[in-house]
Amino acid sequence: MTDEIRIIKAARQDPKVFGELYKLYVEQVFRYLYSRIGNLHEAEDVTAQTFLAAFESFDKFRQEGHFASWLFGIARNKAMDHFRRPDHSSHMDRSSEIAVEDNTLARMIKTEQEEALSTLIQALSEEDRELLRLRFLADMSFPEIARFLHRNEEAVKKTTYRLLARLHSQLEVSNE
């Protein structure tokens, strides 16, 4: 039995245990929402709303072992609710700020590469950007993504790898 299933069963008996599910997924949900929303404080608020909604409807959760798919469905809906309010736009942002050695040239190159990649990602369809968010920011596995998107796991893998290859080749061309 996986930790997730064990925690879910325990949370059904004692709602206080839901906090363990929160700890298990909060970082992934936040990264996913931050990549969609692009504002730290708003992403934090929507993350809190996501877990509150999940907690309040936890008794309706029936898919043992597929909690991540269910939770990210709630997160996606909360993000869409967020964008229904005026003056919001979606974009993939620099969600993972990795420290670079204190070297001005290295920082400039990294910034240029990030900007080029961000531009390429912005040019993708929303469906492709969503796939990247789920895989790399939400850190979901291919089976979880397939369940979440109601698609075949092999199709999800193939689409992801083709998308990455296309981005890689476009990034190489833009760097020439």
Average pLDDT over residues 73-100: 66
Last residue of a domain, one of 40, 57, 87: 87
95 assigned to some structural domain: no
Average pLDDT over residues 110-135: 84
125 assigned to some structural domain: yes
Check if the beta carbon of residue 132 is closer than 8 Å to that of residue 163: yes
62 assigned to some structural domain: yes
pLDDT-derived band at 67, boundaries 50, 70, 90: confident
pLDDT of residue 65: 58
Considering the domain architecture, whether residues 3 and 83 belong to the same structural domain is answered as yes
Last residue of a domain, one of 87, 109, 124: 87
DSSP notation for 45-68: HHHHHHHHHHHHTGGG---TT-HH
Rounded to an integer, what distance in angstroms lies between the CA atom of residue 146 and that of residue 35? 20
Check if the beta carbon of residue 38 is closer than 8 Å to that of residue 80: no
Last residue of a domain, one of 87, 112, 147: 87
pLDDT of residue 114: 72
Count Cα atoms within 13 angstroms, Cβ side, for 12.
Answer: 12
For residue 118, give the CATH number of its domain.
1.10.10.10
pLDDT-derived band at 104, boundaries 50, 70, 90: low
Average confidence score pLDDT of the chain:
82
Considering the domain architecture, whether residues 70 and 147 belong to the same structural domain is answered as no
Q: What is the pTM of this model?
A: 0.65
For the chain, what is the domain count? 2
Asked whether the predicted pLDDT for residue 89 surpasses 60, the reply is no
pLDDT of residue 51: 93
Asked whether the predicted pLDDT for residue 94 surpasses 50, the reply is no
96 assigned to some structural domain: no
The range of the structural domain enclosing residue 175 comes to 101-176
Considering the domain architecture, whether residues 108 and 170 belong to the same structural domain is answered as yes
Rounded to an integer, what distance in angstroms lies between the CA atom of residue 64 and that of residue 7? 11
Strand, coil or helix: 97: coil
Considering the domain architecture, whether residues 81 and 6 belong to the same structural domain is answered as yes
Considering the domain architecture, whether residues 168 and 106 belong to the same structural domain is answered as yes
